[in-house]
Structure 1
Amino acid sequence: MLNNYGHQALDIEINRLNLTDMDIYVSGFQNCKTNHSFGPAVRDYFLVHYIYKGKGKFIVNNKTYYLSAGQGFLICPDIVTYYEADSNDPWTYAWIGFNGLKAKTYLEQANLTQDNPIFSTTEKENSIKKIFDKMKVVNDLKKGKELELLGLLYLFLSKLIKDNDNLNSDKENPKEIYLKEAIKYIHKNYNRYNLTVSQIAEYIGVDRTYLWSIFKSYLNLSPQQFLIEFRIDKACRLMKNKKLSIGDISRSVGYQDPLTFSKIFKKIKGVAPSKYKKETDNK
């Protein structure tokens, strides 16, 4: 029998097993017979089933889900579940079990949780089915099996996350989506000397005038004003770095001419950048 020290050592080793981002536990494929079932039982890892054909039911938290081809279900660790193949049209499914530090986070990003354990595929090409097809082939490998399965698991979760993001985007106001994309583009490109509002509008696929109306409606600023204030805000943060000159800061935020930068900075902040930097240095 294990003493207290032995139990502690065992707990440490178990915890070490869960220190990786993602680990594969099991994977497989099965043509179920009529009324084939499993449970009620618990798992100590996440387990996803994808249904190729047929029907069945999945029971968790006193809820019964009747599922068919193109759908799947998630079993969470330490949760009692039961699932059973249909008596007339038993399902065929593939499964993959996994855990790790990032497992729950990725599943939540895909909107696949204990309270929302069902996912469905609706696209014609059904890329999720293709991923599980590859898993079925990989299961027969003697070398590199776990590594390839892990890669396919990441692809599967990535697909679910993208589908969930697209679903949420469809629910958003299109103007808000354009605004967010424009701000993202500015954030990534504000330090370019030749960045223009026309380029921003072209990137997100709208007319320049329409982009102007969105910014004025939501922020009461034109896109050009927003870009200028964004650059000046970045410049103010760089002022804290004593090693940077005004010219260095100017070029870092998209102004090739320090004189132009100084004029714009003073207009926005009310003081010259040199004075602002000196006051910052003295704080």
Structure 2
Amino acid sequence: MDKFIEFLPQHLHQLDLYLIQYGREACEPGHSFGPAMREYYKFHYILDGKGIYETNGQRYELHKGQGFLVTPGTICYYEADANEPWTYCWVGFDGIKASALIRQAQLSDESPIYTWEKSEFFEHSIQQMKQSKAMKAGRELKLTGLLYLWLSAMIDCRGSELKDKAKENSKEHYIAQVVHFIEVNYANKITVQSISQFVGLQRSYLSALFKEVMGISLQDYLISYRMRKACELLSGTTLMVGDIARSVGYEDPLLFSKMFKKSMQLSPTQYREQKLT
């Protein structure tokens, strides 16, 4: 069995995106994993052969040129074919922006399969990761860059693959755009109007659509997201309240404190003190 794998130090959990492990394996016939779950995201890409992937009650028969996504906390099972066992490579990763990038690639538990015939790209990516072990400095940055390239490839291939499907499911497509826009820009002075301009819909229609799909108003979702980020900063940093206010999109610290207390039933200072006790 031809296999190599490297696990990376996991002290980078505050980063936007970071690599946890990568590897390549020519599996023995019937070689399997699971049923079990991972605590991080993992992309597999099939370089040769075939096998099966099972998750969420679905069974997928996969072959060369296809791949599958494993998501955190989801029980899955995969097995190499008994006659033509697959050879695959993989990357395991996580980070603050991981879920948003996965959504941008239009992959999920319900839609975990992708197809891309450019197997040389994935082979080359894994080889570059492996060769980076010889670097004397800057390796973490190199690995993160390679991981971003892998994800950009996912977004590219899925974007072409699902272009027509996205049009058919326009409601979900628009909501995904909105959520991604908020995740990237919540620290800026964005409004419902600027979000509607970004996705190309009238404000009133987008507001009604968002409430229909998400069960919460767009304005309330934006405030809630900012407050969650503020909670992370209050409990995980020593930043002043005014700095935190600006970090989550509020120029006026008093307005921020008012909105925070309305959402959390505690002032920012009280919340921080409670978390420290």
Shift of 1:166: 3.7
Query: Which of the two has higher C-alpha Rg?
Result: 1
Of residues 93, 97, 101 in structure 2, which corresponds to 1:102?
A: 97
Q: Could you say what secondary structure the match of 1:19 adopts?
A: coil
Question: What corresponds to 2:34 in structure 1?
Answer: 39
Question: What corresponds to 2:134 in structure 1?
Answer: 142
Report whether the alignment pairs 1:29 with 2:29: no
Question: What corresponds to 1:155 in structure 2?
Answer: 149
Q: Which string of whole-angstrom CA distances, capped at 9 and with x for unpartnered residues, describes residues 166-190 of structure 1?
A: 44555789xxxxxxxxxxxxxxxxx
Pairs within 5 Å for 1:123-272: 126=118, 129-140=120-131, 141-143=133-135, 144-167=138-161, 169=163
Shift in alpha-carbon separation, 1:49–1:172, aligned structure 2, 3 A? closer
Question: What corresponds to 2:244 in structure 1?
Answer: none
- CA distance in 1 between counterparts of 2:40 and 2:166 reads 34
- CA distance in 2 between counterparts of 1:132 and 1:151 reads 16
Q: Partner amino acid for 1:76?
A: T
- CA distance in 1 between counterparts of 2:86 and 2:109 reads 22
Q: Could you say what secondary structure the match of 1:90 adopts?
A: coil
Q: Could you say what secondary structure the match of 1:27 adopts?
A: strand
Shift of 1:42: 1.0
Please identify, of 77-86 and 158-167, the stretch whose mean Cα deviation from structure 2 is larger: 158-167
Q: Which string of whole-angstrom CA distances, capped at 9 and with x for unpartnered residues, describes residues 209-238 of structure 1?
A: xxxxxxxxxxxxxxxxxxxxxxxxxxxxxx
Question: What corresponds to 2:67 in structure 1?
Answer: 72
Q: Partner amino acid for 2:141?
A: L
Shift of 1:137: 3.9
Q: Could you say what secondary structure the match of 1:106 adopts?
A: helix
Shift in alpha-carbon separation, 1:48–1:167, aligned structure 2, 3 A? closer
Q: Which string of whole-angstrom CA distances, capped at 9 and with x for unpartnered residues, describes residues 137-193 of structure 1?
A: 4214232544333212211211222333344555789xxxxxxxxxxxxxxxxxxxx
CA contact (8 A) 1:34 1:85 kept: yes
Question: Number of matched residues?
Answer: 155
Question: What corresponds to 2:54 in structure 1?
Answer: 59
Q: Could you say what secondary structure the match of 1:113 adopts?
A: coil
Q: Could you say what secondary structure the match of 1:139 adopts?
A: helix
- Alignment gaps of 5+ in structure 2: 1-9, 168-277
Of residues 37, 43, 46 in structure 2, which corresponds to 1:48?
A: 43
Shift in alpha-carbon separation, 1:150–1:131, aligned structure 2, 3 A? farther
Shift in alpha-carbon separation, 1:40–1:168, aligned structure 2, 3 A? closer
Shift in alpha-carbon separation, 1:69–1:17, aligned structure 2, 3 A? same
Shift in alpha-carbon separation, 1:138–1:107, aligned structure 2, 3 A? same
Shift of 1:101: 0.6
The two structures, once aligned, show a CA RMSD in angstroms of 2.3
Of residues 73, 84, 94 in structure 2, which corresponds to 1:89?
A: 84
**Following TM superposition, where does structure 1 have runs of at least 4 consecutive aligned residues deviating by more than 6 angstroms?**
none
